[in-house]
């Protein structure tokens, strides 16, 4: 059984005086098993398979709690819905996204802080110092054309 089930997350909830319910466990399990960037609705339908009675509002409320606890992270890919990603086990990892403006494909480039150095670490230090600003997290997206869509465009 993965370590966070009934473990890490449950403990974090309890420390904060929050209750660990089957609904919350189901949502955390979905987030941790499905990789990628899920929308609230996608999570809702996924959890519905296990708990058919779940409500969409509960998913939103749980996601907000999970975000406050640092268990999930929000992303906005400008498609009209917020997307969520499970970050337990990679708390300090940095994400960089390449988003294709044609097909919407998202390439996730992730830095494992134990292995590699953040490629824009120096730039962050520079900005922190220049503006006396404490950077807590970053949201770095590059928009453009993926390989396939560029090939299709080139042929036209």
Residue 14 interacts with which of a second copy, DNA, none, CB < 5 to 8 Å by class: DNA
d(CA 22, CA 51): 9
Provide the minimum distance between the beta carbon of 113 and DNA in the complex, in angstroms, as a whole number: 28
5 binds DNA (CB under 7 A): no
Provide the minimum distance between the beta carbon of 2 and a second copy in the complex, in angstroms, as a whole number: 29
Helix (H, G, I), strand (E, B), or coil: what is residue 110? strand
Report residue 57 as tokens.
Answer: 């509002």
**Site residues (vs DNA, CB under 7 A):** 13-14, 17-24, 39-41, 51, 53-58, 60-62, 64, 80-82
**Site residues (vs a second copy, CB under 8 A):** 74, 76, 78, 96, 98, 100-101, 107, 109, 119-120, 122-124, 126-127, 130-147, 150
């Amino acid at each position: 059984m993965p370590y966070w089930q009934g473990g890490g997350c449950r403990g974090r909830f309890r420390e904060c005086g929050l209750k660990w319910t089957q609904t919350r466990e189901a949502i955390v399990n979905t987030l941790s098993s499905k990789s990628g960037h899920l929308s609230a609705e996608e999570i809702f339908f996924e959890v519905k398979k296990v708990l058919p009675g779940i409500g969409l509002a509960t998913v939103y409320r749980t996601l907000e709690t999970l975000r406050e606890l640092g268990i999930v992270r929000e992303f906005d890919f400008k498609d009209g819905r917020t997307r969520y990603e499970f970050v337990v086990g990679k708390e300090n990892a940095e994400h960089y996204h390449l988003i294709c403006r044609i097909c919407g494909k998202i390439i996730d480039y992730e830095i494992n802080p134990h292995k590699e150095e953040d490629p824009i670490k120096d730039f962050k230090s520079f900005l922190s110092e220049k503006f006396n600003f404490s950077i807590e997290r970053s949201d770095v997206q590059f928009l453009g054309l993926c390989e396939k869509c560029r090939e299709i465009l080139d042929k036209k």
